[in-house]
Copies of this chain bind each other. A is one copy, B any other.
Amino acid sequence: MTSRQGPEQGAEPAGKSLFSLQRREKLMDELRAHGSITVRAIAAELGVSELTIRRDVNLLAVEGLVSRVHGGATLPSPLDRTASMTRQQTNRYSIGMVVPSLDYYWPQVISGARAEADERQAKILVRGSTYDAADNRQQVQALLTTQNINGLIVAPDTTGEAGRELLRWLNSLPIPVVLAERRSPIEIPAHRLEWVATDHAFGAGMATRHLWQEGHRKIGCMTDSNSPTSAHVVRGWLQALGALRIPAAQSVNEDSAHVPTSDRAEHFDRILQLCRETDTTAMLVHSDTQAVAFVQHCVDRGVDVPGSMAVVGYDDEVAYLAEPAISAVRPPKQYVGRLAVQLITARISEGPKRPVHRVQLNPDLIVRDSSLGGPRSSARALEDSL
């Protein structure tokens, strides 16, 4: 509603008179930028009398937003004895949240975010989107224009030129932005973006090492390149193979992204065939739903799990439902949501002086039956069973 001028008011000290609210905003900006202000300097800069500024400072001090000192004000300091003891104000922020899916993975992230927001008396406004940059932007835009939000948590598509452009745009928004389960590239244009993401490469590595420790010496990987997670899983798997001195070139690495459900059985048969040919006795399967289907297929084909084919799923939504129950890597989804809210609220209250935070969380490995015991009678069993 109020049209703001440029970042610096520039040449007109006494130009358009600001409303008191804008004055106080400006004052807080200066304060956050420099850590302190003098009444005199601000009064001169805004072209108002010092008394007016003093009144503003008093007002802000009552709200606990600044500490009054003789001659000016500083950021609230614990040394400030006059600080009101009623710390927890009606500090309610509105935080927008745009996630690419409302039925897979993200509900738990949202739940974590909501829990944290409750504790901080903030409100979360969620919008579902897709895994597509254009739609991401549309949803964010909708939040920005229809709601009055103080910060944004978003899990955008970061791939391709559209993804990079989207990141640049997010980086330039006037409100703080935190990416969830996404990283900003090292490029400068996104230098303000903070993020919290699960270290999926670590998780994949952990799963691979677990299979190795159980006795498997050929470990394959089944991916779903539809998901942005898959690239990290493959990276972690390859890294682990390297560390374990397993030749990656001969390892089974199949993608199921574009296999229609009708061809799934055939697809799995081909993978089992590949495993037999390469003596592969264990598979890391991205998306546990896929893992459940794969284990089911193995059981149907008489392939013993885990005796002839050990399976670790990546992600842990339904892995426990299979028979046998599937070991799975479990990303700390609740914590991702919680942390995103923590980052955004801290950023809103501390301003740009706070350094940009980028957090990785390690997933857990939940060991169930599908990966225990090591290969039994090696590839023979698998061969016999077919």
CB atoms of A21 and B359 under 8 A apart: no
State A118–B206 Cα separation when bound (angstroms). Answer: 37
Question: How would residues 130 to 151 of chain A score, 1 for a CB under 8 Å from any chain B CB and 0 otherwise?
Answer: 0000000000000000000000
Partner of A69, one of B20, B355, B362: B20
Q: A1-B352, A69-B21, A70-B20 are in contact. Are A359 and B359 (CB under 8 A)?
A: yes
Partner of A21, one of B80, B192, B361: B80
Among the listed stretches A91-99, A161-169, A183-191, which one makes contact with chain B, having 4 or more residues with CB under 8 Å of it? A183-191
Tell me if A120 counts as interface (CB < 8 A to partner B).
no
CB atoms of B69 and A81 under 8 A apart: no
Give how many copies assemble into the complex: 2
Q: A21-B67, A205-B188 are in contact. Are A3 and B33 (CB under 8 A)?
A: yes
At the interface, is chain A mostly helix, strand, loop or mixed? mixed
Number of A interface residues at 8 Å Cβ cutoff, please give it: 59
Cβ of A12 to closest chain B Cβ, rounded Å: 15
State A24–B78 Cα separation when bound (angstroms). Answer: 11
Contacts A21-B67, A21-B77 aside, 19 further interface pairs with beta carbons under 8 A come to A1-B192, A3-B33, A19-B70, A19-B71, A19-B72, A21-B69, A21-B80, A25-B77, A28-B79, A60-B79, A78-B118, A186-B202, A186-B205, A188-B209, A355-B362, A356-B361, A356-B362, A357-B361, A358-B360
